[in-house]
Amino acid sequence: MAEYNKLTEEIISKLQQAAPGHILTGDDINEDYSHDEMPIYGKSAPEVVFMAHSTEEVAAVVKICNEHKIPVTPRGAGSGLVGGAVPLLGGVLIDITKMNKILSYDLENFVVHVQPGVTLNDLAEDCAKQGLLYAPDPGEKFACLAGNVSTNAGGMRAVKYGATRDYVRAMTVVLPTGETTHFGATVSKTSSGYSLVDLMVGSEGTLGVITELTLKVMPAPKVLASLIIPFENLNDCISTVPKIKMGNIEPQALEFMEREIVLASERYIGKSVFPQELDGTTANAYLLVTLDASSEDELDNLIEKASEIALEEGAIDVLVADTPAKMKDTWAARSSFLEAIMAETKLLDECDVVVPVNKIPSYLEFVNKAGEECGLTIRSFGHAGDGNLHIYQCSNDLEEEEFKARVDKFFDLIYPEATKCGGLVSGEHGIGSGKISYLVDSVGEINIKLMKGIKKAFDPNSIMNPGKVCYLLDNNN
């Protein structure tokens, strides 16, 4: 492991001079900084919190940390689920949430320039006022955009519009050495050397601190509607997905969910949205489909096509939510899945594997059997259109040590199975500190060696977010 130093009064004084009034120490540091939204991966408090306000401040602070070999942890809203923003070695935590301005739009080139702490919700609302769409739509609307970029967040609209990576044109980055550079350009295509932008996307704060972003936007679709499609079983539900995708329909979102998670969500929001039984048939799985179009006639045609396909594939019925109120209720239920699970669960862990779409039913059957074998309650939902599954392990009865042991056994079963299916460890939540060993097993030693080489090139002293992605604290990296 790299050698690190503790913060001394002298180093803290240098930080305070570099960022006057923006350095927090001692009791001024909120306990929330010691964990993310999945505290099962442990808590670790920073020695200093730096409330970043400018690129120049970030560069000055990081330069001091690099010179003195002080660990640095970039952090946005702290909504991650794999321990990615937890300062495992203390050191300096850089909070970018105060850098939250939407700087400008370039409507001739369809891009927006933003600071890293702008939330997804704020950008989405601001774009909508101007008839624009920022297409990435991860479930946590109040995550910071730099956090979305750092994990390549996907979300519901990825099936049609792609993940965050597809919308990052350029960025300003403070490197771990304290140098400031610019990656990418406003242009929509490039063949100009290695794509350093793409290296930063998904790097989870291990290669530098993003201080400005240029993101692609597009004209917003004119009309939208959502379809709730109940099925008697999961196999029929998932087998419908490729048929819809092949039907020249191009759904904006294509989600699946099982009965138990729907019931939990409706208990949480206090409203029934998804039908539980129709014509005497119990719904045990659902597709939630959103369609967009440039006209009402086009939308009606898409609804008709999708409904015909679903009914031919065994859907019990097709319910259309075509008013703002109905769509709001429908997606409120879907967006509350994680909160609903948390509200009813004492101990919780999760994984967001991604597998080929046609493997979803057999893989989930394997997962549910593994959950039974390990004595865990399993709740599953996910992005049917791209095979990204959110699988939660829950318990209200076990002690934490026993729960963790059972989850480890569960992961040892399901991650290799995902790899065997042609899948990967994470579709959008990232690796953080919690999934490193599973990444190594999935992608192999050669690829991990390449990742470590990239890390070393960017961060020669290994100060930036140590213990994450490919950097094991107990190994000599």
pLDDT (tens digit, 9 = 90+) per residue, 427-451? Answer: 999 999 999 999 999 999 999 999 9
Q: Positive or negative CA dihedral for 465, 145, 171, 353?
A: positive
Q: Is 476's pLDDT higher than 70? A: no
How many Å apart are CA 370 and CA 368, to the nearest integer? 5
Q: Residue 139: which of 333, 321, 367 has the closest Cα?
A: 333
**What average pLDDT does the structure give for the chain?**
95
Q: State how far the Cα of 465 lies from the Cα of 318, in Å rounded to an integer.
A: 47
Q: Cα dihedral angle (391, 321, 135, 423), rounded to 10 degrees?
A: 30
Encode pLDDT of 317-350 as tens digits: 999 988 888 888 888 888 889 899 999 999 999 9
For the chain, percent of residues with pLDDT exceeding 70: 99
156-195 residue pLDDT tens: 999 999 999 999 999 999 999 999 999 999 988 889 999 9
**What's the CA gap between 374 and 368, in Å, rounded?**
10
pLDDT tens, position by position, 110-131 = 999 999 999 999 999 999 999 9
- For 350, phi and psi rounded to 5 degrees? -150, 160
For residues 279 and 290, give the distance between their C-alpha atoms in angstroms, rounded to a whole number. Answer: 25
Q: Check pLDDT > 60 for residue 44.
A: yes
Query: Is 80 exceeded by the pLDDT of residue 412?
Result: yes
The closest alpha carbon to 244, from 162, 295, 305, belongs to: 305
At residue 42, the 3 state secondary structure works out as coil
For the stretch 182-191, pLDDT in tens is: 999 998 888 9
Q: Which two tokens stand for residue 263?
A: 């019931």
Residue type, 371: G
Above 80 in pLDDT, residue 474? Answer: no
If you count them, how many residues does the chain have? 477
**Residue 56 to residues 18, 92, 146, 197, 461, Cα–Cα distance (Å):** 9, 17, 17, 20, 21
C-beta separation of 243 from 146 below 8 A: no
**Residue 477 pLDDT greater than 80, yes or no:** no
Q: Residue 475 — very low, low, confident or very high, per pLDDT cuts 50/70/90?
A: low
Decide if pLDDT at 466 tops 50. yes
β-strand 253-258 against 223-231: which pairing, if any? unpaired
Cβ proximity of 69 and 176 under 8 Å: no
Q: d(Cα 4, Cα 107) in Å, to the nearest integer?
A: 46
How far is it between the farthest Cα atoms of the chain?
74
Residue 13 has which token pair? 């004084």
Strands (E), 145-222: 168-174, 180-184, 209-216, 218-219
Q: Partners of 290 in the beta sheet?
A: 226, 253
Cα–Cα distance measured from residue 289 to residue 384, given in angstroms and rounded to the nearest whole number: 10
- pLDDT at res. 332: 84
pLDDT digits (tens, 9 = 90+) for 88-109: 999 999 999 999 999 999 999 9
Q: Which pairing describes strands 223-231 and 319-321: parallel, antiparallel, or unpaired?
A: antiparallel
CA distance between the termini of the chain: 6
Q: What is the pLDDT of residue 1?
A: 64
Q: Which of 411, 262, 245 is nearest to 332 (CA)?
A: 262
- DSSP, collapsed to helix, strand or coil, labels residue 295 as coil
Residue 251 has pLDDT above 90, yes or no: yes
Give residue-wise pLDDT tens across range 4-24.
Answer: 999 999 999 999 999 999 999
Q: Any residues with CB less than 8 A from the CB of 114 and at least 6 apart, and which?
A: 101, 102, 103, 123, 145, 212, 213, 215
% residues pLDDT > 90 (the chain): 88
Dist CA 84 CA 454 (whole Å): 18
